[in-house]
Amino acid sequence: MKQELWKYSILEILKGYKEKKFSPLELAREIIKKINQDNTKLNAYVFFDEEIILEQASASTSNYDKNLTRGILEGIPISIKDLIVTKDMPTNRGTLSSSLPSKSDYDAPVVNKLKQQGAIVLGKTASPEFGHKGTTQSLKYGNTNNPWNLSLNAGGSSGGSSAAVAGGLGPASIGTDGGGSIRIPCSFCGLFGHKPTFGRIPAYPISPFGTIANLGPISRTVKDSGAIMNAIANSDIKDWHSLPNEIQDYTFYENNLKQKFKIGYSKFWGMDKYFDLNLMECEVLEKIDDAVVVLRKNGLQILEIDSINWPHNPLEIFLVMWQSGASNLARKINKEDYSKLEPSFLRFVEKGNQYTMFDLMDAETKRAENAIHLKQIFSNIDAMIGPTLPALPFNSYKNVPEGFEEDDLFSWLPFTYPFNLTKNPASTINVNFSKSGLPIGLQIVADMYKDKACFELAHFIEQSMELTDKWPTF
C-alpha cells in the first residue's frame, strides 16, 4: 500500500477503512495538511474549514468503530464546486456581486445524497463567475493553476475541482458541465470526468442556463467516479427533470467489451466545418492517434468515421442558449452590482438581451434535429471516441489558446458543447502526455441514457493506458 494517504483512490480508502488500517480522521488530517501546503499554489479551494472537516471525519470514524456506517461512501472526502448550494458552507459562485445569497438553509440534492451515503464534504472549489467560461479565473478569487505546470490553465469552469483532485487535495469532486465544464479541466489536468445524460444526476436550484447544464463526478480513476455515481445518480423530488431510478452498478464492468462494443473514432466530431482546423494542435491529434493504435492492439473494434454531419451549426445554437441563460441570470443581479461583474460575462448578457423568444424556440428545434441525427449514428455503433479538446493547456491568465478569437470564449471548445445540446452522456479520460508533460484527454460519447457504456469503455482504456499512477510534481 502507498504511504501517502492523500494518494489513495476511493476504493483503496474504503478497503483501508474496512481493514482498519487507518480511520477517516487520520485521512482527513492528512488531506487538510495537503490543502494547507498546496492550495496557495493551485488556488483550487475557495472555502474550506478544518473544524467542519474534522467534525465530519470524527463522526465517520465513530460510525466505523460502532459498525454503523451510513452508506457506500462513509468517510470519503469529496469537494464541491462553488456553483453548487451547500447548507453549512458559502456558495459565492465566483462573483463579487452580493445580489445572490451565499448562505443557504439546504443542500443541493447531489450534496444531500453524498452526505446520506456518509461522504465528508471537504469544501468549495473555484469557478469563474457563474461558471460562464471554459477557464477558471475570477475577479473574486484570481486564477486557478494547473498542477502539471503552475503557469498554465487548469481549464474550467470546474477548474478548482480538477486542480484539487489532480493535485492530491482530495480524491474526488463534484463539478458542473454546461458546455464542457467537467471535461475541459479534466482533460487539462489528466483526470476522468463524466457529464451524464441530462437528468441522470438531479439538480436544484435549476440552472439559469436551463437544460444544457449538468452535474457530474471528477476523479483520478473511473471506478472512483463510478462509486460516486452509485450514490448520486438517482431521482430526486426537487428536480422535475430527474430520470427514474435505474438498477445499475457503475463500478462493475463486463469482461466481453471487445466483442460487445463497436466504436467510432471521430477526429473532429463533425465540427471541421465550423472551426479552423489549422488551429488544432498537431501533437494532440498525434497522441490521440497513438492511443487509438494501442486500444486496437488490445482488441477494441474501432472504426474511423466521418458520419457526424450536424444539420445545424452547434455553436450558433449553443450561443443562443448560453447567452440567453446569462441574460436570464442577470435579471437577478442588482443594477448597482453590474460594475462588479466581469466584462466577458457582461458581453454574454448584452448579447442575450438581443434574442427574442422565437430565437430561443428556433434554437431548441435545431437542437432537437441535431440530437436526432446523432441518435441515428448510434444505431450503428455503441460509442464514439475522439479528442476532448483541440489544444494543450495554455497560459493561466488567458481565456482562449493562442490563435483563437479572444472575444469568442467558446471558439476553442468545438468538441464538448455539442453534446450538452444533444444531452448525450460524455466522459473524458487521460490517454497520453505531450512532449512537455501535459495531459491529453480522449472524449467518449454514448447514446442517450447509456452512461454505463461510457464507464465501461473508459475503464478498458484506463487499464490499457496505465496512467493513473502518474502524479504531477509542483
Q: Record the cell numbers describing residue 18, joined without a space.
A: 474496512
Q: Which residues are catalytic?
A: 81, 157, 181
Q: Which cell is 256 given?
A: 466481453
Residues in CB range of 55: below 8 A, 6 or more apart: none
189's grid cell: 489536468
By the 8 A CB rule, do 340 and 389 touch?
A: no
Strands in 185-243 per DSSP E: 192-195, 214-219
- Taking the C-alpha atoms of residue 225 and residue 220, their distance in angstroms, rounded to an integer, is 8
Count the residues in the chain: 474
Q: Dihedrals φ, ψ of 399, to 5°?
A: -95, -25
DSSP collapsed to 3 states, 401-463: CCCCCCCCCCCCCCCCCHHHHHCCCEEEEEEEECCCCCEEEEEEEECCCCHHHHHHHHHHHHH
In what helix (H) or strand (E) does residue 16 lie, and over which residues does it extend?
A: helix 10-18
> Residue 232 half-sphere exposure, CB side, CA atoms within 13 Å?
32
Task: Give the neighbor-by-neighbor strand order of the sheet with 172-177.
Answer: 45-47, 120-125, 77-81, 172-177, 214-219, 192-195, 426-433, 439-446, 383-387, 262-265, 301-304
